[in-house]
């Protein structure tokens, strides 16, 4: 247990033990140690450059901070809850190492702007890690799409068979979603990577600081224009959690499809053993538990976003201690998003697709009915009449228990005299898909363009180091 608090000059009585436990944050904000030390080193360099401390003092502080960093990363550092948070723990150990000069590090700053800086750096780093995970997942989807350009399956609306599409087109739809997620995170970084240091507690400081130099030192894009906004803003966490919620939404939709496709009623995929579990009572079961849990954990990330929105909605300017509660929801959401992205990439690499089951489902769903209507419309029949004729043909095939393509030419001509022998080519599922090469369509040329465009994007992303 530490002695007098660093802020305890006007206090005569010790803090109640229950209060200490209730108000401490070091049990979770110790995760920000690297960012806290990086910010402190930049602050020390700036103080020396401004003549507020000497260069020798700055060098001693930086050397001491490097020692603290090494102790933390080796596991030798002892975190003391009585010192409340990551900042006080590091400063206390620094002062023990370098002596009274350690007390000069906090010149011109407050824990309010210090924690805002640390958390911004941390959130920025995790957002970058999410982007990397998203890019990896998109790359896996591209690989699998390239393997299945000629595999056809039912495309659905209302979860009912609608039109034939390529499996590649289906997988690429998710790749485009994850590309948007990367773009959203990149845009959020513009607002995350702004330095609040120099705002001090809320009103700024009388010291001749150079906040822009600290921002540049840390690779940030700029500084806050208003000190009260600087210490009380948590939009950057909310934006990151909003982006993370959309990532999980997209993952959850993909999970739902895999769960459905793994059901023998569909049978479109074979789950890899490494990403499945069994039943304690039913020996035949192979459960898509990873996908089910990922679908469920989406709610955790939504909950983190909702918790922080609720936390912030009633806070007056400037800093309030309520804002200590911003970190645990983000840390939990970060773990969920990061693990989910890695797991989905691994699952998709190993999942087995079953083209023959997809083909069988095409025949069951009359997915070429639109082709018959389009065929008749192309022969001059008004589309609404063509639609009715095709619907009547579907009813006939359904009654016979066969596909449209299995009806005889004579039977089909009974629905319109415009139908000729070339109708059977139009009714082929491959023809239906091949005709749809408009931009974004499921045709092979369109799919090839999508794959190439996404490959170019991924290569540019890798080249940029983003």
Using alpha carbons only, what angle is made at residue 159 by residues 155 and 163, rounded to the nearest 5 degrees? 25
Residue 1 pLDDT more than 90?
no
Six-digit token pair at 271? 């789950």
Cα 147 to Cα 352: distance, rounded to the nearest angstrom: 12
Cα 56 to Cα 58: distance, rounded to the nearest angstrom: 5
Per residue in 188-228, pLDDT (tens digit) is 999 999 999 999 999 999 999 999 999 999 999 999 999 99
Q: Give the pLDDT of residue 14.
A: 82
E-only strand ranges, 316-359: 352-353
Residue 458 pLDDT more than 90?
yes
- Dump the DSSP string for 4-35: S-TTGGG--SPPPHHHHHHH--HHHHGGGHHH
CATH of segment(s) 112-143+172-204+218-354? 1.20.200.10
Q: Where in the chain is the domain with CATH 1.20.200.10?
A: 112-143+172-204+218-354
Asked if 44 and 62 touch (Cβ cutoff 8 Å), the reply is yes
Cα 405 to Cα 359: distance, rounded to the nearest angstrom: 14
E-only strand ranges, 187-261: 194-195, 222-223
Phi-psi region of 68 (alpha: psi -120 to 50; beta: other; left: phi over 0): alpha
Per residue in 284-340, pLDDT (tens digit) is 889 999 999 999 999 999 999 999 999 999 999 999 999 999 999 999 999 999 999
CATH of segment(s) 361-464? 1.10.40.30
Q: Where in the chain is the domain with CATH 1.10.40.30?
A: 361-464
Residue 383 pLDDT more than 70?
yes
Enzyme catalytic residues = 158, 279
Per residue in 430-455, pLDDT (tens digit) is 999 999 999 999 999 999 999 999 99
Q: Give the pLDDT of residue 18.
A: 87
Q: Where in the chain is the domain with CATH 1.10.275.10?
A: 16-107
Per residue in 114-141, pLDDT (tens digit) is 999 999 999 999 999 999 999 999 999 9
Per residue in 358-380, pLDDT (tens digit) is 999 998 889 999 999 999 999 99
* DSSP 8-state class, residue 157: E
Asked if 192 and 123 touch (Cβ cutoff 8 Å), the reply is yes
- Summarize the confidence of residues 13-23 as an average pLDDT: 85
pLDDT cut 70: percent of the chain above it: 98
In the predicted model, what is the mean pLDDT of the chain?
Answer: 96
Question: Which one of 3.40.50.2000, 1.10.275.10, 1.10.10.10, 2.40.160.40 gives the CATH number of domain 16-107?
Answer: 1.10.275.10
Residue 2 pLDDT more than 60?
no
Using alpha carbons only, what angle is made at residue 147 by residues 141 and 152, rounded to the nearest 5 degrees? 95
Residue 8 pLDDT more than 70?
no
Q: Give the pLDDT of residue 6.
A: 64
- CA dihedral sign of residues 350, 292, 270, 152: negative
């Amino acid at each position: 247990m530490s002695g007098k608090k660093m802020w305890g000059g006007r206090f005569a009585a010790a803090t109640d033990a229950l209060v200490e436990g209730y108000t401490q944050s070091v049990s979770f904000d110790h995760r920000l140690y690297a960012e806290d030390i990086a910010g402190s080193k930049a602050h020390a360099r700036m103080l020396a450059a401004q003549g507020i401390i000497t260069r020798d003092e700055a060098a001693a502080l930086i050397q001491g901070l490097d020692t603290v960093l090494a102790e933390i990363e080796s596991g030798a550092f002892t975190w003391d809850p009585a010192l409340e948070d990551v900042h006080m723990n590091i400063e206390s150990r620094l002062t023990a190492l370098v002596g009274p000069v350690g007390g000069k590090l906090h010149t011109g700053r407050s824990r309010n702007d210090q924690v805002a800086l640390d958390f911004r750096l941390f959130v920025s780093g995790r957002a970058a890690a999410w982007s990397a995970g998203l890019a990896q997942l998109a790359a896996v989807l591209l690989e699998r799409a390239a393997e299945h350009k000629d595999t056809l399956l039912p495309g659905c609306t209302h979860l009912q068979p609608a039109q034939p599409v390529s499996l590649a087109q289906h997988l690429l739809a998710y790749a485009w979603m994850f590309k948007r997620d990367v773009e959203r995170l990149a845009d959020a970084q513009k607002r995350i990577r702004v330095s609040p240091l120099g705002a001090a507690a809320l009103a700024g400081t009388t010291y001749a600081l150079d906040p822009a130099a600290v921002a540049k030192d840390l690779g940030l894009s700029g500084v806050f224009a208003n000190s009260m906004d600087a210490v009380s803003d948590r939009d950057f966490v909310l934006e990151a959690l909003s982006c993370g919620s959309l990532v999980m939404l997209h993952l959850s939709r993909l999970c739902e499809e895999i769960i459905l496709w793994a059901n023998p009623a569909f049978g479109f995929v074979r789950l890899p053993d490494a990403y499945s579990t069994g039943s304690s009572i039913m020996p035949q079961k192979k459960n898509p538990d990873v996908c089910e849990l990922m679908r469920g954990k989406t709610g955790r990330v939504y909950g983190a976003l909702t918790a922080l929105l609720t936390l912030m909605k009633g806070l007056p300017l400037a800093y309030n201690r309520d804002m200590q509660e911003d970190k645990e929801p983000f840390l939990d959401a970060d773990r969920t998003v990061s693990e989910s992205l890695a797991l989905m990439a691994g699952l998709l690499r190993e999942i087995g697709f079953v083209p023959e089951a997809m083909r069988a489902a095409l025949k069951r769903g009359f997915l070429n009915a639109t082709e018959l209507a389009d065929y008749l419309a192309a022969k001059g029949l008004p589309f609404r009449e063509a639609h009715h004729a095709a619907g009547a043909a579907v009813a006939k095939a359904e009654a016979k228990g066969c596909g449209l393509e299995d009806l005889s030419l004579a039977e089909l001509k009974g629905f319109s005299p415009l139908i000729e022998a070339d109708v059977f080519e139009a009714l082929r599922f491959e023809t239906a898909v091949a005709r749809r090469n408009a931009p974004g369509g499921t045709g092979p040329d369109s799919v090839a363009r999508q794959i190439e465009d996404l490959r170019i994007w991924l290569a540019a992303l890798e080249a940029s180091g983003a």
